[in-house]
A and B are shown apart, each in its own frame.
Chain A
């Protein structure tokens, strides 16, 4: 038997054991845990918490590191278009992308300051290109 076959065979043997794990009934699983003194629910919660933490860690590690000097566009000094033009722009964005309207209550009943803030948010979100509207 070749060495490569030994490795294959070991993997197949492990999978045979896994097949048994999949074939166990709920009652058999509970009985085995009981005999081994394992709290099935507590152990499940422990595994879930650990797996959740692992998944979160991978996402966190994969996130690009923000430049320390980065500041959101809305935090910079900006010369917005006049309020009427700004409202038109925001309404156009909501008309083209209704899903954003849901997040911003469809732009209704907002003060001018709300509109300005909304405009800044949409610029930050990339929905409005400021260079096309600001001096």
Chain B
């Protein structure tokens, strides 16, 4: 078996993706719904299911192909779907790959090599990235700046969430934020929860930057 065959066997086929959809539990769907909802604000999507279906379509197109999203079978399906939704919401470009690698350490499931989890799903050529030219990229950056302004305004009265946002924008990794913000584990977790709920409210509120 050559390397290409070996690599191919590690990636899900279209049928395996369909089987995985059937294997998702109510709890899995509840997590996917929350992640998708938190990704909406500042993206072109207004419905988390619409974003999820785009992720499924990309994954199905990528199965057995060189291009597109690939699901490495050693990565939990839920995590893969969240990664793919995030990538779509962020209209990912090649420049995002490193940020993904930096940010996803906390997603790595036990027993899975970090390199397999964080890099493989992103190694595939991004359809979104191919379509984004410099002008669009500049527009996207300006939109991101506006989104941050809205988020900071939304959390103006929540010092802990604002601290979390500031630390993150300062380039800190999630695991470093708690320490530098001087938060307990509980404070950090509840602030992160309020952040998710706030992003969801913004995203589902239909407010556009």
Contact = CB atoms under 8 A, between A and B. Distances in A.
Interface of A: 1, 3-24, 26, 29, 32-33, 40-41, 43-44, 46-48, 50-52, 54-59, 62
Contact of B29 (A16, A43, A57): A43
Contacts of B34: 20-21, 24, 29, 32
* Contact residues on B (Cβ < 8 Å of other chain), bracket: 35 or more
Given A16-B195, A21-B34, A3 B148 contact: no
B52 A40 contact: no
Given A11-B92, A20-B38, A55-B17, 11 more contacts: A7-B90, A15-B107, A17-B200, A18-B38, A18-B196, A29-B31, A44-B28, A44-B29, A54-B56, A54-B57, A58-B57
Interface of B: 14, 17-18, 21-22, 24-35, 38-39, 42, 49, 52-53, 56-57, 60-61, 78-79, 82, 86, 89-90, 92, 95-96, 99-100, 102-104, 106-107, 138, 140-142, 144-145, 147-148, 151, 164-165, 168-169, 174, 189, 192-193, 195-196, 199-200
A64 to B, nearest CB: 14
Contact of A48 (B27, B29, B106, B145): B29
Contacts of A54: 53, 56-57, 60
B144 A10 contact: yes
- Report the 10 A-B pairs with minimum CB-CB distance, sorted nearest first: A3-B141, A17-B38, A44-B29, A17-B196, A21-B34, A58-B60, A6-B144, A44-B26, A18-B35, A8-B99
Contacts of B140: 7
A55 B30 contact: no
B57 to A, nearest CB: 5
A32 B17 CA distance: 28
Given A16-B195, A50-B49, A21 B86 contact: no
